[in-house]
């Protein structure tokens, strides 16, 4: 685009009007470690906001500040709605917070920990309680066989270990 059609004021405000992070309408269940993680995230964002607040003339700092403030609003909202879940006394059944070891048809083990939406991280084998695999596993017992419907095809899994 030609510079003749761009107002200087528009460039100054580019990137500062960010859309809000979507907040799930589902209950905000969270593990104790997830709650600590969320609280630490809020403290880090608040600290970062304080460090940038005095740089009002630096456009890059203002854009970063807008992102931080948006993320802080999200984290604050998640902390207000958090429903702390404690591990059950009876670990014979898969519930929220469980670490479940399953074995597929080929005898390969897979590990999943069922956590809150904000804690989910597939690299760490942490899956949201609202994910398809968690929905299949929740309320199952040791030795139960479940079918996980996936886009890549269904897979049969046997629950071989449940821990909290």
Per-residue pLDDT, 10: 47
- Rounded to two decimals, the pTM is 0.81
Per-residue pLDDT, 56: 74
Which own/partner contact pairs does 88-93 have at CB distance under 8 Å and 24+ positions apart? 88/164, 91/162, 91/163, 91/164, 92/141, 92/142, 92/162, 93/139, 93/140, 93/141, 93/162
Residue 130 and residue 116 in contact, taking contact as beta carbons nearer than 8 Å: no
Which residues of the chain fall short of a pLDDT of 70? 1-16
Which pair of structure tokens corresponds to residue 72? 């802080």
């Amino acid at each position: 685009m030609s510079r003749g059609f761009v107002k200087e004021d528009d460039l100054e405000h580019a990137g500062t009007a960010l859309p809000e992070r979507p907040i799930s309408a589902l209950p905000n269940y969270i593990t104790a470690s997830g709650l600590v993680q969320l609280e630490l995230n809020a403290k880090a964002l608040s600290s970062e906001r304080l460090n940038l607040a005095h740089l009002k003339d630096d456009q890059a700092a203002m854009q970063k500040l807008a992102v931080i403030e948006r993320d802080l609003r999200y984290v604050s909202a998640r902390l207000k709605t958090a429903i702390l879940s404690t591990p059950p006394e009876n670990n014979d059944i898969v519930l929220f917070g469980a670490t479940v070891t399953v074995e597929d048809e080929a005898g390969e083990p897979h590990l999943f920990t069922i956590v809150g939406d904000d804690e989910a991280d597939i690299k760490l084998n942490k899956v949201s309680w609202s994910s398809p695999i968690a929905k299949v596993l929740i309320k199952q017992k040791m030795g139960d066989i479940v079918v996980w419907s996936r886009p890549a095809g269904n897979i049969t899994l046997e629950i071989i270990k449940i821990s909290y």
